[in-house]
Amino acid sequence: MENLSTEPDAWGLPTTAVALRPASQVCDPIDMGTARATRHSFSRAMIRYLVAQQWQVTRERFDFDEVGRGVAVYRIDAGRRTWRLVAFSQVLADGERQDRVIAAAWDVTLALIEGDLDQERMAALRDNVPRQEAGRADPDTVIWGRGNRSTRFFDAVVTALAAGRQPDSAMFEASPYLMRSTAFYSNGKFGLADFERFGPEHPFSVPYRSHFLAAWLMRELSLDLVEHCARAINPGAAVLDPRWRRYLGLGNATGLGVVPYVINHPQILDAWAHLRELPLAEVRGRVVDPGDPDVARVRELFDRAVIYLQLGGSTDIAPFPNCAVVAAQVAQVRELVEEYAAHGTIHGARAPRPWEVLHAAADDISPGCRGVVASILVELTGDLDAVIEASLARDERTVLRPWQSVGELVEAIDQHYDWVRQFDFDDAAQQSYFWFSSEDNEEPRRGRRGIDPGEQVEHGTDVARAVATLRTDLDAADPADLVAQFMLSHPWHRGAISRVQSVGELTYGEVRTNLLAEDFLPLNVQRLQLAVYGMENFVPQSTDWLRVTLFVGAPRVSDLAEGTADDDWIFVSAPGAAERLEMSR
């Protein structure tokens, strides 16, 4: 197989034999709304790192009563470094559980700490961690988190195990988890360790690695805890079958807050988009023959993906593609894979770069089909793992260049922000919403303009409107004037000018949409971020928030110790579900 990458770019990312998809596609919310986890998503990358570095995790303490109230400590040994996840568990009444930031209590609160854990430090953790916002962390604490038991699944699995049975896969549908996380905090909040203290060689210098380590261990706690509660009912209770222990993940519910985050961190959006697009372009450019082992791997992944999607059912999950519909579409592309494996042709024509042809065929069918095929193909790019991770840390500083000429600024807008012309801001429908932070809910929200209170504290998420207004006012300025002169009479454009000068040249720095519009759906932007994290099973609960799962099929702590932790956990189905699907046909 020929690797067609050449010299790296400014971020250390190699150029590719075929062009990266343009921002007009990648940063279109419709495309974002079909994103899926890939091998380069943060959860996958974190576990690969643990395995490669031979980290070991042991359950150091596990003191719980019969219903699961108590303390657990998981110790992480990483060479000369030691961390511990310290978790405090209680049992809330069902009516007391909520996913909102304003919640005052949680079933589980936790801290990822570095260094020793003596009685004094444990006492301080016990006093502060369960209080979350009202508590205070010590400077050697990296992560605080919290979550709740699933009201649908935790007790049901306890009951099944206590009766000597394994869970019923039909019960979970698209939500295979026992516990749902509601927040992970870091980087100075509550006194937590600042990200900047982690030098380039530190294991946590890669963004989000510490978060996903804490989340993975929270998932491990949920599995240990459900078995403990079952044994409290019946000492002879069943334990989860190994397949179930790997299948069950960690739940999460995500709301509007991720949308302004993406808008306010354009350099991060660019890094995340490259995380997805660079490997895809690289693999599309590879020259392959039908006997290449990668062909067999792709056939296997197509089979797995079709079953996974069929098991997703035909329930409408708008605005996301219906799983049953996408399953049928992916099956069409699978037929092309079979043709290539048998004859070396696709649609009867020779295809020296088959992955490029398959990706184009999927793109012609639907964005949802293309998203699945892209995830399958990117599984072949393990050689880019280190390169992708190294590119994630970005300099987010913005600059203002008052010495630039007005003509040069106009040229930059016309080149990089031509997409804002599609919005007519004289149309009230293009300014239906405004974004703000709710004092009561402590979360980003959007309100109806002219109806809901809060317009006086509107967030600056209106990039499209701000740049369009700037461009209009620049028409009346002398192109030879300096930007500094223009700003003397138009100081309110400072933010938009800085945005264009700092962000415009990024390939994927802007979401190509108008967040104020009547028809803007936050769920699409949310899905892109969650897919980068490694989440799947997207189930919208409204136009503004959705439920997802993380670490479905991922290795367990014991897999690290036994050397059986693999990286093959994409499109994972529940134990026995595929067999039942086959029998139902």
Q: What's the full length of the chain, in residues?
A: 585
Helices (H), 490-543: 494-503, 522-533
Residues 6+ apart with CB under 8 A from 386: none
127-to-116, 120, 438 alpha-carbon distances in Å: 18, 11, 28
Integer Cα distance of 545 and 524 in angstroms: 10
466: nearest Cα among 508, 505, 510: 510
110 sits in which H/E element = strand 108-114
pLDDT for 9 equals 56
Q: Give the tokens for residue 51.
A: 């395995």
CB 71 within 8 A of CB 110: no
Beta bridge partners, 114, equal 83
Integer Cα distance of 325 and 313 in angstroms: 9
Q: Using DSSP, state whether 170 is helix, strand or coil.
A: helix
**pTM of the shown model:** 0.94
Integer Cα distance of 111 and 86 in angstroms: 5
Q: Give the tokens for residue 189.
A: 């909040």
CA angle, residues 577, 579, 584, in degrees to nearest 5: 95
pLDDT for 12 equals 62
DSSP 493: G
CB atoms within 10 A of CB 304: 17
Integer Cα distance of 16 and 563 in angstroms: 35
159: nearest Cα among 211, 226, 217: 226
CB 137 within 8 A of CB 190: yes
pLDDT for 392 equals 93
pLDDT for 2 equals 34
CB 423 within 8 A of CB 517: yes
DSSP 74: E
Q: Give the tokens for residue 23.
A: 């921002």
pLDDT for 102 equals 61
Q: Give the tokens for residue 585.
A: 């046909």
Mean pLDDT by 10 residues, the chain (585 residues): 42 78 97 96 97 96 98 96 97 76 84 96 97 94 96 95 94 89 93 92 95 98 98 98 96 90 95 96 96 97 96 84 95 98 96 97 98 98 94 90 98 97 96 88 85 91 96 97 98 97 95 96 95 94 91 95 93 87 75
380-to-281, 296, 338 alpha-carbon distances in Å: 12, 11, 18
Hunting for tokens 């046909």 — which residue is that?
Answer: 585
Q: Using DSSP, state whether 254 is helix, strand or coil.
A: strand
341 sits in which H/E element = helix 323-343
Residues 6+ apart with CB under 8 A from 201: none
pLDDT for 94 equals 75
407: nearest Cα among 326, 475, 343, 503: 475
Integer Cα distance of 255 and 445 in angstroms: 9
Integer Cα distance of 176 and 184 in angstroms: 20
Hunting for tokens 């708008």 — which residue is that?
Answer: 318
